[in-house]
Structure 1
Amino acid sequence: MKKIKKHILHIVFCFPLGEAFSQTNPINTDRPDQGDGVFTIPKNSWQLENGLIFAKQTITNNLLLRYGITQSTELRLVTDAGKEMQSTGLKPIVFSVKQRLIQQKKIIPAISFVGYISNEKWASKNFRGNDIQYELKLAMENEISDKFSLGYNVGASNEFKNLNITAGISYAASNKISTYVEYFSSLSKAANEHNANIGVLYLLKPQLQLDISVGNSLFSKANRFYATTGVSYWFK
């Protein structure tokens, strides 16, 4: 990453590995909410998470491909393609890594590190640029009960000029249906954006999940309403 020192990466990847860190049956996804979860998929397995996002003058297909390289480390590829205003094509491809750090212990949350990096040259003509973008974040989660869990992220992007925050609570209504409500924001000297979204996830099979979500801006006259629906599959 552009401005990340080597010793930080060394610390992140030197945590002990173990089966307890990885996702167990059934599928556990990072969509459709805006935050990243703490779970990683098991070693040598793949997970595909794909969804359509609808917003004002925007239709985007968002795809996340995840691969477990160890029981607590996964590599990820993110692509967004579609139409935004009068521009169509592929937005810059994003590479990502997620590393489980610690498990939950009483009130101490489970914590994972998530990093993203993208070169704006890795895009179609209409979305191409010359900058390298990256984001670093910590994903945290507290299981409150068998039904409720609290997930939250703290991260930085735009050369550490933006502080990105998410916080959401999830409720498992049954073995197949779960819901959530989430607040997410991006804070900087230039502007502060506050938003919220709600969603429903439906487990068709232990490896197959459908989802739907809607969100909008808070405390702002700007209309940032969006809706998304998607499907995710875990290839064991």
Structure 2
Amino acid sequence: MRMLVLLSLLFGIPILPAQAQEEREELNADRPDNSQGPGVVSRGYVQLEAGYNYQKLNTRIRTYAYPTALLRIGLLEGVELRLQGAVKDSVIENGTRRHIKGWGPLSVGTKVRLWEESGWRPEAAIGAMLALPLASEVFKPDNVEPQFNLGFSNALSENVDLTYNLGYGWTDGNPEPSYGANITRQFINKVSLYLEVFGSKGKGEPAEHQADMGILYLLLPNLQFDVAAGRRLNKAAPNHFITTGLAFRLPR
């Protein structure tokens, strides 16, 4: 019911679309939402997306990532190279507090546009990442762990977009399917609001479902600030999280 109320409020606000001035191309970031869409960095551009993430898993464990960083390089039209990593810090409280800190795995991969949107057919892209065993010992996977993602996007109106994806990968050697879907609307010039649901299911584990809400603010045609917060939809999922960061595209 709360989600329906938020949706009705979201869609009832008139807005103006935010236009990027640099070659009239919008800055399209893959953060902070989890529903990675089909947007691909154009050929010749370099885009950096970085931020801070805090997550409370349960009453004992809290995790921090600072910075999370994703480097996207437009290699060809419709093809980008992706490099991703983060510094991680877990705080475990069990009578006493201790920290587990280090570099998370370095991931390398690509995203390739499959086709453009046409009528009811969504824009689509496929992504593939490999998490390499290049990390601090406490966070290092035993083997290379692939992650695949199919991202889609439909323009529901001039100002409202629906983005959704399906993912499949491996974590600690076990398969883990995932999904995500969000609705984004620009409600004043250069400001957008999104609502999202996403989740995953590890092998032998109950499915985890979460929801979040975020704000995107286009400070400059090539610089975007974001902030988002979410919480669990079932007891198996992490309790809640907060994230904030920036997306910056270097001039070509």
TM-score, structure 1 as length reference: 0.85
The residue correspondences of 1:11-50 to structure 2 (distance < 5 A) are 25-50=25-50
Aligned-pair RMSD on alpha carbons?
A: 1.7
The residue correspondences of 1:132-147 to structure 2 (distance < 5 A) are 132-147=144-159
Residue 115 of structure 1: aligned partner? 128
Structure of higher CA gyration radius = 2
Query: How far apart, CA to CA, are the structure 1 residues paired with 2:73 and 2:118?
Result: 27
Query: How far apart, CA to CA, are the structure 2 residues paired with 1:82 and 1:226?
Result: 15
| Runs of 4 or more consecutive aligned structure 1 residues displaced over 3 Å after TM superposition | none
TM-score, structure 2 as length reference: 0.80
Q: Whose relative contact order is higher, 1 or 2, with alpha carbons under 8 Å and at least 6 apart?
A: 2
Alignment length, in residue pairs? 213
Query: How far apart, CA to CA, are the structure 1 residues paired with 2:174 and 2:236?
Result: 27
SS in 2 for 1:52: strand
Residue 64 of structure 1, CA deviation = 0.5
SS in 1 for 2:138: helix
* Alpha-carbon contact 1:36-1:139 (below 8 Å) kept: yes
Change (3 A) 1:224 1:24: farther
Query: How far apart, CA to CA, are the structure 2 residues paired with 1:181 and 1:76?
Result: 25
Query: How far apart, CA to CA, are the structure 2 residues paired with 1:149 and 1:26?
Result: 14
Change (3 A) 1:189 1:73: same
**Residues 26-55 of structure 1, C-alpha deviations (whole Å, 9 max, x = no match):** 311000001212111111110010000012
Query: How far apart, CA to CA, are the structure 2 residues paired with 1:82 and 1:132?
Result: 19
Structure 1 unaligned regions, length at least 5: 1-22
* Alpha-carbon contact 1:29-1:37 (below 8 Å) kept: no
For 1:78, the aligned partner's letter is: Q
Which of 178, 182, 186 is residue 172 of structure 1 equivalent to?
Answer: 186
1:58 matches 2:70: no
Residue 181 of structure 1: aligned partner? 195
Structure 2 unaligned regions, length at least 5: 1-22, 57-61, 92-98
Q: Percent identity?
A: 30
The residue correspondences of 1:1-236 to structure 2 (distance < 5 A) are 25-56=25-56, 57-60=62-65, 61-85=67-91, 86-119=99-132, 121-158=133-170, 161-190=175-204, 191-220=206-235, 223-236=238-251
